[in-house]
Structure 1
Amino acid sequence: MKANGTVPARPALRRCEVTTSWDDGHRLDRRLAALLERYSIAGTFYIAPRNVEIRPAERLPPEGIRELADRNFEIGAHTLTHQRLPMLPSRQAAVEIRTGKEELEGITGSAVTSFCYPCGAYTATHVRQVREIGFRLARTVMRNSLRPGPPLELLTTVNAYAHRVDGPLALRRSGLRLRTAARLYLNWDDLAIHWFEQCLGRGGVFHLWGHSWEIEARGDWRRLERVLAHIGNRRDVRYVTNRELTEPVVP
């Protein structure tokens, strides 16, 4: 760890690592966790225990949070109530970050050292607050990378959602083949499998993330399982939680 409290990024790996993360703390996270277990894939669940965007009856309850932790999934913090940090006064933002961490630690009985910025919205002030409050890792929503990036501004590869701004990306990834580009653009599962195959060939970190409630709303459980079946249970892949991305690799 550096003197300023940050964890230096690890050297780029030749082998493929797979990590997944799932945001918000919805009761459907249990269904998602069962799929990850089926295909032997690690996961980090970023939970806002009093998320104002989820009805109380739909939130993952404390016993559900403990269950995920007991099943060896990482529990990460996502603030207390899931408000966009730049919309809050600085002091209130720090309270949101700290109290979300403390509540989850009270539920699980374990230290919570990973954080996810709600909606991916943050400033340099929030990066500093996250570090000072004791997090070692903080995930963003920035996509299309096979490198983890800075520990407190962790990059991702694919979101389990079809983004309609991804036309130029799909065209580049297809090598300008229009039919392939259309498939990658319209089907996030095809895009995820494409990125995973790139990771197998080049090495790096393949990071899939999403929301269980969004997968349900869009009827995407079959797409998700297709991706997990493709990337899971491989001997030549290392499956890690987000936290483990900051830890030394043991040969």
Structure 2
Amino acid sequence: MSAPAVTVTTSWDDGHRLDLRLAGLLARHDIPGTFYIAPRNGELREPDRLAPAQIGELAEGFEIGGHTLSHLPLTKLSEQRAWEEIRSGKTELEDAAGRPLTSFCYPMGRYRRRDVRLVARAGFSLARTVSRSSLTTGDLLEMATTVNAYRHLVDGPLAVRLALGNPRRIARYFFDWDALAMRWFDLCLASGGVFHLWGHSWEVDARGDWERLERVLAYISRVPGVRYVTNGQLAEAPEAAR
């Protein structure tokens, strides 16, 4: 019997200058990544945003994805304003990256049905959410993920389930997101599916988690038989992502 099909993809949000450091880690471990960038992100100081030249540099080795122009939650905008944010963010990034964009990420994970339609209208074939704990993509315009490079306090029940009741493992999976990520990867290897790691470079830095991130990247990289792709490549072969 053949081994189950396993795909690994990663994505990184917001467009902070530390994305360049993160890209270096991905490159070291031969792991593709999609960087969702809001080129005029109002939550970042201008010196902390990736400049157009840096976006172009990043695009040489990784996929660039849309994240609106200024990282405003779409649910708080009128339909016209939401469309302008999605469209103008895409245009500005395509100018900087020098290539068309096909992947999008909803700012803060907030969206409604209207916004899904707008994203498709703008020409995106895939849109990532912040929904976690999945080894399938689901609907490609509302794509789920597996694990976030961040410790979530709501993950207690998940830790219990994945640890099969073992108290020491429960504590480890709850307090150490890297241990949780590696457990998810083991499950994906066993059952097949899509392992999707995502996060924010600025958050990794703020929490001193670079070593944790590198530990996970080393664990999931260069595994024989595993397919490593960008988010956009999932949309090119959706049958392999379900």
TM-score scaled to structure 1, two decimals?
0.92
1:59 alignment partner AA:
R
2:40 is matched with which residue: 47, 50, 53? Answer: 50
1:143 is matched with which residue: 132, 135, 146? Answer: 132
Give the deviation of 1:250 after TM superposition: 11
1:229 alignment partner AA:
A
Tell whether 2:53 aligns with 1:67: no
Query: Aligned equivalents of 2:142 and 2:150: distance in 1?
Result: 21
Q: What is the percent sequence identity of the aligned residues?
A: 58
User: Could you say if the C-alpha distance between residues 249 and 114 of structure 1 is closer, same or farther in structure 2, counting changes exceeding 3 Å?
Assistant: closer
Query: Aligned equivalents of 1:109 and 1:62: distance in 2?
Result: 10
Query: Aligned equivalents of 1:212 and 1:224: distance in 2?
Result: 10
Runs (4 or more) in structure 1 with deviation over 2 Å come to 248-251
Which deviations, in whole Å up to 9, do the C-alpha atoms of 1:126-183 show, x marking residues without a partner? 0011011111000000000000111100000000000001101111111122221111
- RMSD after superposition: 1.4
Q: Is the 8 A contact 2:126 2:232 kept in 1?
A: yes
Any idea what SS the aligned residue of 1:201 has?
A: helix
Tell whether 2:53 aligns with 1:92: no
1:17 is matched with which residue: 7, 22, 26? Answer: 7
Query: Aligned equivalents of 2:147 and 2:70: distance in 1?
Result: 25
More moved, 207-216 vs 230-239:
230-239
Which deviations, in whole Å up to 9, do the C-alpha atoms of 1:44-65 show, x marking residues without a partner? 0000000000000000111111
Tell whether 2:135 aligns with 1:155: no
Give the deviation of 1:248 after TM superposition: 2.7
1:41 is matched with which residue: 26, 31, 35? Answer: 31
1:158 alignment partner AA:
V
Query: Aligned equivalents of 1:131 and 1:250: distance in 2?
Result: 19
Q: Is the 8 A contact 2:173 2:180 kept in 1?
A: yes
Give the deviation of 1:14 after TM superposition: 2.9
Partner in structure 2 of residue 211 of structure 1 = 200
Query: Aligned equivalents of 1:249 and 1:161: distance in 2?
Result: 27
User: Could you say if the C-alpha distance between residues 75 and 230 of structure 1 is closer, same or farther in structure 2, counting changes exceeding 3 Å?
Assistant: same
Query: Aligned equivalents of 1:96 and 1:75: distance in 2?
Result: 16
User: Could you say if the C-alpha distance between residues 249 and 98 of structure 1 is closer, same or farther in structure 2, counting changes exceeding 3 Å?
Assistant: closer
Which sections of structure 1, spanning at least 5 residues, go unmatched? Answer: 1-12
2:149 alignment partner AA:
A
Any idea what SS the aligned residue of 1:165 has?
A: helix
1:247 alignment partner AA:
E
Query: Aligned equivalents of 1:213 and 1:250: distance in 2?
Result: 34
Which sections of structure 2, spanning at least 5 residues, go unmatched? Answer: none
Query: Aligned equivalents of 1:249 and 1:97: distance in 2?
Result: 23
2:109 is matched with which residue: 106, 120, 126? Answer: 120
User: Could you say if the C-alpha distance between residues 167 and 250 of structure 1 is closer, same or farther in structure 2, counting changes exceeding 3 Å?
Assistant: closer
Q: Is the 8 A contact 2:159 2:170 kept in 1?
A: yes
Q: Is the 8 A contact 2:132 2:148 kept in 1?
A: yes
Partner in structure 2 of residue 175 of structure 1 = 164
Q: Alignment length, in residue pairs?
A: 238
Query: Aligned equivalents of 1:158 and 1:82: distance in 2?
Result: 22
